[in-house]
Chains A and B, each alone.
Chain A
Amino acid sequence: MERDGSRHKAFTRRMALLGGGQLSLAALLIGRMYYLQVLESDQYKMLAEENRISMRLLAPPRGLVLDRFGQELASNRRNYRVVLIAEQTKGVSETLDRLARIIPINSHQRSRVLREVKRKRPFVPIKVAENLTWEQFARVNVQLPDLPGVQPDVGEGRYYPMGIETAHIVGYVSSVSEADLTGDPLLELPGFRIGKNGIEKVYDESLRGKAGNSRVEVNAYGRVIRELARQDGQSGDDVVLTIDTDLQEKISRRLADESAAAVVMDIHQGEILAMVSSPSYDPNAFNLGMSTKAWQSLIQHPRKPLINKAIAGQYPPGSTFKMIVALAALEAGIAGPDHRVFCSGVIKLGNSKFHCWRHRYGGHGWVDMKQSIAQSCDIYFYDLARRLGVDRMAAMARRFGLGESFGIELAGEMDGLVPSKDWKLAVTGVPWQLGETLITGIGQAYLLATPLQLAVMTARLANGGMAVRPRLSRRLDGGKSVDDGAGSTTEDGQNKENGAQKSDAAAQPIGVSAANLKVITDAMSDVVNGARGTARKYRLDKELGTKMAGKTGTAQVRRITKAERKAGGKLSKETPWKERDHALFTAFAPVGAPRYATVVVVEHGGSGSYAAKLTKDIMTEVLRGNPLGRAAVNMDGGGHRKKRKI
């Protein structure tokens, strides 16, 4: 008893100690609860909300690209895809392994996903696969419970119904690259496409639209439990082009075998009705993802299908430049229409000989101005050029749109080149040579022009000397019409913001005399319709009841050697394709009341008459279809274009 009593006392003392220790531990727990649930509660409440609520961006439907009659050139199609949210997976590569058993995932896709996982924030969905078939898509959906972090997704894919025929104009969209990221969260959406070329690129921002968003409650696996709030975005604006798809298609087919460019333009409004560059490429391939091999073959193709030759191809204008020289002479008062020059086929300047293309037939004999244009006499223009000097020719060339880019709504437009004395000295350090003036007079030397510039030049000659500027779209992103020039002053502000299209103020007169212009256009008519015109074989068929005017051009790719000149022919079957001359033909129609201007440039096409032959077919289609005579899509913004909800 005694002993147990002492043990009991000892026990009780120790019990008090233990109990006290436990009470202090309990106090620690309570202190922690107070800290977490009272002091830090707000922060944890916020974190819990962040856990629970997920903001989902809603990609707006991309605006359509339509031709002048409302036909779709770029539209949207359903695209079944699978995305992955890194922070919700139990290991990205493990998840990819599982997914690979359901849908095909190649090593390239795999490494891209792993790369993006590192780069992007962990809650941003990353595209794993797209353009799945419905069966593949359904299989992923069924297995979803075993694939945390994987989300099926139906997006919109871009589709180009015309494909290769409008590729150079419409361009294409492709995956957003790192360099494209601007902070617009839309660009971080998986599978989002951004315009990479053509209209798709230039009008990307207005086509893109505004992102909507949806606040959803999600569970730990990212499954959406319910939607809490939703803000609809705004679909992208449609872009209406000046293009007539029908005409575009026909010209594309006609030029399919060539390395060529063609432009058809409204001479008064500057609207581009067709712009073809051949060969072309399939823009849909870019959207679906192109193999490296296919890409390599595209960029290594000798005829450069990716280049839009109509705006980026620069060629010596050759004899198509003679109108400018003649007009410059008329305006300068150096020569009248009756000015005559004797062509013996060759003239001498110092030690150099300058030939006419007809020198082997003994030249043209006596020619006046109209004849010199109709028969494309080189000697006549050597004479005019020598009298004018290069700077006066250059000034006139610039007034007609050569040597400048017009800010057409496409990327890659080139300036061409109009040389002057100052230019040569500045660039080469060597003074201008008189011989260079002479060959500038026949559109060679340093002169370079794009087919678009030649079309503008022809339009300005044909429209009575109005400084018309070319354009591809009929609607700016403000949604207002730019259908006629009168309204264009109101568009100036938007134009500046847009940046894609320079001011398109009503065409101003260039300031050349109508009488002088008539000399030139009459001569151009004689090229086709005159008895000795260089393109007389390609006058329009009688049943069209109308005529076209034009000018051939044969642009030398290299110097003609003496041996070749003696042999008589520049072009023979043996000449390698790369060394053949470019064939050019600028035209307008109908003669008398012109509306359309065309340019055809065939790279290494041999001679201008070949381009004239193609132009005859093209102009025939233009006049038959008469796109300017038909009502274009309603431009008032209402009917056709509907704001689609997303």
Chain B
Amino acid sequence: MGRQIELTLLQKLVQINWILILLISLIAGVGFAMLYSAANGHINPWASRQMIRFSAGLGLMLLIALIDVRAWLRHAYVIYAAALLLLVAVEVMGVVGMGARRWVDLGLFQLQPSEVMKLALVLALARFYHGLPLEEIGQMRWLVVPAGLILIPVALVMRQPDLGTAILLLATATAILLLAGVRMWKFAVALGAILLSIPLAWRFMLHGYQKDRVLTYLNPERDPLGAGYHIMQSKIALGSGGLFGKGFMQGTQSHLAFLPERQTDFIFTMLAEEFGLVGCLGLLSLYMLVIAYGYAIAMRSRNQFGRLLAGGVMTTFFLYVFINMAMVMGLIPVVGVPLPLVSYGGTSMMSLLIGFGLVLSVYVHRDAIISRRPSHGD
């Protein structure tokens, strides 16, 4: 039983959280500036294309925001099934790039199904726990379905191989389970199981280059000209930035090409070199503000699906930020995770903005009260 609130399009537009959009745009703006610098003061080839993608993504985000959150609930499993299918398709007929099979060629464009899965998994888990009463969450049998929902795509992504996305999926799912109210001791058990399985994974599941990354993380000087080179140079760039940085477009490490991948995964390093600790804290604050806004939206929602959806998406976003920054600062091994909204790259930009579209949809429809069984209750 619930109050049905139907909003007009105009009402919906008014309801959209424009401050969040402003914050997102600010972060993207930082990205444009860094891409401009990365190209040695040229708008091409990176900044211009990033701007076009951002504009397109922004439109898509607004479109998604206007779609009723109940529609997302209704189609959550369908989207998940489609994403899973795409992952299998990648396994069967994917395009090999950079030594891993991650893309599927859809004729018009290449799609990275693991990106789709990041959102699809959040949707599916949110729907599952939306329909599950608090009392039943504790029952073991109700853990089987989410475990399947989580582990099947994780396994497929690991096979590509894409360790970063697999960890991201696993961590996001864990957060959703946590928010849904799964007992804490179960996390402790799962954590224990993971720790125990690390030696096995090391022997049987990780690829040579993945092991290399981990070893290099543990000892960056192990091979300063090879795998450790990136992280050494990144730390040098970061550290040499100091408190206020070397100035816009003045980063020697970045501009003299000592810093690898400065327009993608290591763009934060360039920012750190050119704007110093002040710049780093500024960008981190923007991110934390966005996350705080997202979580506020989640808590404000009057339906469990919306709460879990927004919470899940924002957790993914946080994980992006944390993993990327921790990686370039040498806190964790190098995994290919971009800095959200700043790194150059179309796919992650799109999936991030679609995610924010979902969060905004939750916000717009925050007062919708949805019964646990929407198909019957509606």
Contact = CB atoms under 8 A, between A and B. Distances in A.
Nearest to A48: B240
Interface in A36-54: 36-38, 40-41, 43-45, 47-49, 51-52
Interface stretch (A5-13, A233-241, A266-274, A577-585): A5-13
Contacts of B240: 41, 44-45, 47-49
B277 A34 contact: yes
B236 interface: yes
A17 interface: yes
Nearest to A17: B178
B326 interface: yes
Given A34-B277, A45-B239, A52 B331 contact: no
Contact of B295 (A19, A29, A32): A19
A36 B256 contact: no
A596 B175 CA distance: 104
A221 interface: yes
A37 B272 contact: yes
A567 B277 CA distance: 106
Contacts of A219: 255-258
Is chain B's interface secondary structure helix, strand, loop, or mixed overall?
helix
Contact of A18 (B179, B236, B253, B272): B179
Contact of A6 (B134, B238, B302): B134
A11 B258 CA distance: 46
Interface stretch (A20-28, A356-364, A452-460): A20-28
Nearest to B371: A4
Interface string B163-192: 000000000000100111100000000000
A33 B285 CA distance: 13
Contacts of A14: 178-181
Contacts of A26: 284, 288, 322
Given A18-B179, A33-B277, A48 B252 contact: yes
B281 interface: yes
Interface residues of A, number: 44
B369 A4 contact: yes
Is chain A's interface secondary structure helix, strand, loop, or mixed overall?
helix
B258 A43 contact: no
B329 A217 contact: no
Contacts of A1: 1, 369
A483 interface: no
A221 B325 CA distance: 26
B307 interface: yes
A44 B238 contact: yes
A12 B298 CA distance: 9
Contacts of A6: 134
B237 interface: yes
A6 B295 CA distance: 18
Contact of B322 (A25, A48, A225): A25
B256 A33 contact: no
A630 interface: no
A87 interface: yes
B236 A47 contact: yes
Contacts of B225: 87, 122
A218 B277 contact: no
A33 B280 contact: yes
Given A22-B291, A41-B239, A44-B239, A218 B284 contact: no
Contacts of A17: 178
A32 B331 contact: yes
Nearest to A26: B288
Contacts of B134: 3, 6-7, 10
Given A29-B326, A45-B242, A48-B253, A11 B181 contact: yes
B299 interface: yes
B133 interface: yes
Contacts of A3: 133-134
Contact of A48 (B180, B236, B288, B304): B236
B258 A15 contact: no
Nearest to B177: A14
Interface in B283-326: 284, 288, 291-292, 295, 298-299, 302-304, 307-308, 311, 315, 318, 322, 325-326
B235 interface: yes
Nearest to B288: A26
Given A33-B280, A34-B277, A37-B239, A4 B179 contact: no
Interface string A48-73: 11011000000000000000000000
A33 B281 CA distance: 9
A40 to B, nearest CB: 5
Interface string A184-206: 00000000000000000000000
A30 interface: yes
B276 interface: yes
Given A10-B181, A15-B311, A26-B288, A40 B239 contact: yes
Contacts of A18: 175, 178-179, 311, 315
A17 B243 CA distance: 32
Contacts of B179: 11, 14-15, 18
Contacts of A8: 302, 304, 307
Interface in A227-274: none
B123 to A, nearest CB: 17
A42 to B, nearest CB: 8
A531 interface: no
A220 B257 contact: yes
B241 interface: yes
Contacts of B280: 33, 37
A51 B178 contact: no
Contacts of A11: 179-181, 298-299, 304, 307-308, 311
Contacts of A33: 238, 272, 277, 280-281, 329
27 contacts: A3-B133, A4-B369, A8-B302, A11-B304, A11-B307, A11-B308, A12-B299, A14-B179, A17-B178, A18-B315, A29-B322, A36-B329, A37-B277, A44-B235, A44-B237, A47-B240, A48-B239, A48-B253, A48-B258, A51-B253, A51-B256, A52-B252, A52-B253, A122-B225, A220-B256, A220-B257, A225-B256
Q: Lowest 9 CB-CB distances: which A-B pairs, in order? A: A44-B239, A48-B240, A219-B256, A220-B257, A37-B277, A10-B181, A220-B258, A45-B240, A41-B242
Interface of B: 1, 133-134, 175, 178-181, 225, 233, 235-243, 252-253, 255-258, 272, 276-277, 280-281, 284, 288, 291-292, 295, 298-299, 302-304, 307-308, 311, 315, 318, 322, 325-326, 329-331, 369
Interface of A: 1, 3-4, 6-8, 10-12, 14-15, 17-19, 22, 25-26, 28-30, 32-34, 36-38, 40-41, 43-45, 47-49, 51-52, 87, 122, 217-221, 225
Given A22-B318, A51-B258, A87-B225, 6 more contacts: A11-B180, A11-B304, A14-B180, A44-B236, A44-B237, A48-B240
